């Protein structure tokens, strides 16, 4: 699974973009935002499989606008980016995405409820949220998003990741770890 996912063009392009972002920061001192999504599949019988890095992109235009509006004193609260949604959509990630393509609803336990993440700050320039989605039906999970509300079908999308299918059955769960890194320039 890791090899198939890593060889996807979108995964390779995300890896290259992260390298370019680090280079731009190092050479030109420009602040950059990068993201990384990791996954662990936990089977109903308790066995777990570390899926490694699932994706390294895409922070959305809507997510950036939400953060700027919070800074500007609007009604937005950046703390709300703590809900993990998943789905079966296969469209490539894009900065213009505003929702998951085909979000899981009835396959989740409880239905239509995104996982609430546990937030940490692994270093001064990183935000991390870890959320576990549990399933009570079979699904081929191919996308993940960080959103601002627990109920499926709404909220603002900070980041959308698309990856090789993770096949789940009733009783399985996926633990997603999302890390957003802001690298200062200067």
How do residues 20-65 score in pLDDT, each as one tens digit?
Answer: 665 655 555 555 678 999 999 999 999 999 999 999 877 899 998 9
End-to-end, the C-alpha distance of the chain in Å comes to 39
pLDDT(68) > 70:
yes
CA 48 – CA 63 distance, rounded (Å): 31
| Both structure tokens of 70 | 């919070």
CA distances from 165 to 17, 42, 51, 96, 103 (A): 23, 15, 11, 23, 14
Query: Could you tell me which residues come within 8 angstroms of residue 56 by beta carbon, excluding any fewer than 6 positions away?
Result: 11, 14, 15, 17, 18, 34, 35, 36, 37
CA 42 – CA 38 distance, rounded (Å): 13
Predicted model pTM: 0.84
With CA atoms as reference, report the closest residue to 105 among 154, 49, 148. 154
| Chain segment 137-182, per-residue pLDDT in tens | 999 999 999 999 999 999 999 999 999 999 999 999 999 999 998 8
């Amino acid at each position: 699974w890791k090899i198939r996912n890593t060889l996807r063009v979108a995964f390779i392009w995300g890896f290259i973009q992260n390298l370019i972002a680090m280079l731009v920061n190092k050479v030109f001192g420009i602040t950059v935002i990068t993201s990384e999504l990791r996954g662990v599949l936990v089977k109903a019988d308790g066995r777990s499989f570390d899926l490694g890095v699932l994706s390294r992109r895409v922070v959305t235009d809507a997510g950036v606008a939400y953060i700027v509006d919070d800074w500007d004193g609007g009604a937005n609260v950046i703390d709300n980016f703590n809900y993990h949604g998943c789905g079966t959509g296969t469209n490539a990630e894009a900065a213009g995405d505003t929702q998951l393509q085909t979000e899981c609803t009835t396959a989740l336990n409880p239905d239509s409820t995104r996982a609430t993440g546990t937030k940490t700050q692994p270093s001064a320039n990183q935000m991390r949220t870890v959320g576990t989605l549990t399933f009570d039906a079979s699904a081929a999970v191919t996308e993940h998003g960080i959103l601002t509300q627990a109920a499926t079908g709404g909220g603002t999308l900070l980041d959308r990741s698309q990856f090789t299918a993770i096949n789940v059955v009733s009783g399985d769960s996926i633990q997603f770890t999302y890390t957003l890194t802001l690298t200062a320039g200067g």
